[in-house]
């Protein structure tokens, strides 16, 4: 037995995690789905060259056919095209917002956790206030106050930027708290102390020693936040406060389909299923990632 153990090549922690991930069927299915979805979002122009906003006035509310596999909506637009471009909006919005979340939350969290003291107290007070609001309500309020006069809607591009700012503001405190906790737990470890004793500057300690060691829980959190942010975008768009037409958003499509739920259920079903599958894929993949990165965290 001893020889077998010795003969086994030792894998790096990353390779070990990757191997565990590949062995988990849930991770493989969800990971494949996510990769596929990203490809669809990137290649939307090639897959659906007619675009998301081209009306076919002769075929409004049409049933599925070769030309329109999922039929058309009340304005004669191809439903499948709108789902495909909706994936681009949904993933794109989530990517930007999660990047904002990482930029603010991770930076502030690591600094607060590492230095402690006044910076830390200030961060905690700010996050306390943010947490005393129910999450989506804060986003609704932020988006609501920037709306132009009644009957007018924000320009589609402006609606995207508003969404980025509002959701970015709502989601960073969670990650900041996580990063803070991680930095606090690690700041007195021997290797950090050793680096400090050797005269390594704080900036280098934060970036080269602290950051890499806090990454696993943060990657897991970010994967699950992608799902949360997609849902938040869908919810705001559903309420008419998110992505503005002509951009397609799954949430908006659910809202637009409600009057036709009896006669044309496919209009409601298509965006609902797309949203459900995507959110579940990210959630389950996040769970699998946690198990793979740190098997000890498993229940």
Pick 95 or 235: Cβ nearer other proteins: 235
102-161 residues near other proteins, rule: CB under 8 A: 128-129, 132-137, 140-142, 144-150
CA–CA gap between residue 106 and residue 217 (Å, rounded): 12
CA–CA gap between residue 44 and residue 262 (Å, rounded): 30
- Out of 8, 262, 296, 298, which residue is the one contacting other proteins (CB under 8 A)? 262
Of the ranges 43-51, 55-63, 68-76, 235-243, which one interacts with other proteins (CB under 8 A)? 235-243
What residues does 78 pair with on adjacent strands? 72
Q: Is 298 in the site for other proteins (CB under 8 A)?
A: no
Per DSSP (E only), the strands in the chain are none
Q: Is 96 in the site for other proteins (CB under 8 A)?
A: no
CA–CA gap between residue 112 and residue 194 (Å, rounded): 21
Pick 146 or 184: Cβ nearer other proteins: 146
Pick 70 or 195: Cβ nearer other proteins: 70
Query: How big is the site for other proteins, counted in residues (CB under 8 A)?
Result: 45
- Out of 106, 275, 289, 292, which residue is the one contacting other proteins (CB under 8 A)? 275
CA–CA gap between residue 277 and residue 250 (Å, rounded): 12
Q: Using the structure block, give the residue that is written with the tokens 């122009």.
A: 45
Using only C-alpha atoms, the chain has a radius of gyration, in whole angstroms, of 23
Is residue 97 within 8 Å of residue 242, measured between CB atoms? no
Q: Is 241 in the site for other proteins (CB under 8 A)?
A: yes
Pick 190 or 262: Cβ nearer other proteins: 262
Pick 111 or 267: Cβ nearer other proteins: 267
Is residue 167 within 8 Å of residue 232, measured between CB atoms? yes
Burial of residue 118 (number of CB atoms within 10 Å: 0-12, 13-18, 19+): exposed
| Distance in Å, CB of 187 to other proteins, minimum | 26
Binding mask 199-228 for other proteins (x = CB under 8 A): ----------------------------x-
- Out of 158, 204, 276, 297, which residue is the one contacting other proteins (CB under 8 A)? 276
CA–CA gap between residue 70 and residue 82 (Å, rounded): 10
What residues does 72 pair with on adjacent strands? 78
Between the two ends of the chain, the Cα-to-Cα distance in Å is 30
Chain contacts with other proteins (rule: CB under 8 A): 128-129, 132-137, 140-142, 144-150, 227, 231, 234-235, 238-241, 251, 254-255, 257-258, 261-262, 265, 268-269, 272, 275-276, 279-280, 283-284, 287, 299
């Amino acid at each position: 037995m001893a020889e077998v153990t010795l003969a086994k090549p030792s894998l790096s922690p990353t390779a070990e995690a990757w191997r565990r991930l590949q062995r988990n069927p849930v991770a493989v299915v969800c990971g494949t789905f996510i990769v596929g979805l990203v490809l669809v979002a990137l290649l939307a122009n090639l897959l659906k060259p007619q675009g998301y906003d081209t009306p076919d006035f002769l075929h409004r509310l049409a049933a599925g056919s070769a030309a329109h596999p999922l039929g058309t909506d009340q304005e004669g637009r191809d439903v499948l095209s709108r789902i495909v471009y909706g994936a681009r909006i949904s993933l794109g919005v989530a990517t930007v917002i999660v990047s904002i979340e990482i930029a603010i939350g991770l930076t502030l969290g690591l600094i607060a956790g590492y230095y402690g003291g006044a910076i830390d107290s200030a961060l905690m007070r700010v996050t306390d206030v943010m947490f005393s609001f129910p999450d989506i309500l804060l986003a609704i309020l932020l988006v609501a106050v920037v709306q132009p006069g009644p009957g007018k809607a924000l320009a589609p591009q402006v609606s995207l930027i508003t969404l980025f700012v509002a959701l970015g503001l709502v989601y960073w405190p969670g990650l900041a708290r996580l990063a803070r906790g991680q930095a606090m737990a690690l700041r007195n470890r021997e290797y950090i102390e050793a680096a400090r004793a050797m005269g390594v500057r704080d900036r280098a300690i934060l970036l080269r020693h602290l950051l890499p060691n806090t990454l696993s829980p943060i990657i897991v959190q970010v994967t699950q936040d992608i799902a949360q942010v997609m849902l938040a975008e869908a919810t705001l768009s559903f309420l008419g406060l998110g992505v503005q037409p002509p951009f397609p958003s799954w949430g908006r499509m659910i809202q637009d389909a409600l009057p036709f739920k009896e006669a044309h259920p496919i209009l409601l079903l298509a965006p609902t299923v797309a949203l459900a599958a995507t959110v579940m894929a990210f959630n389950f993949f996040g769970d699998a990632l946690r198990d793979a990165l740190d098997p000890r965290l498993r229940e």
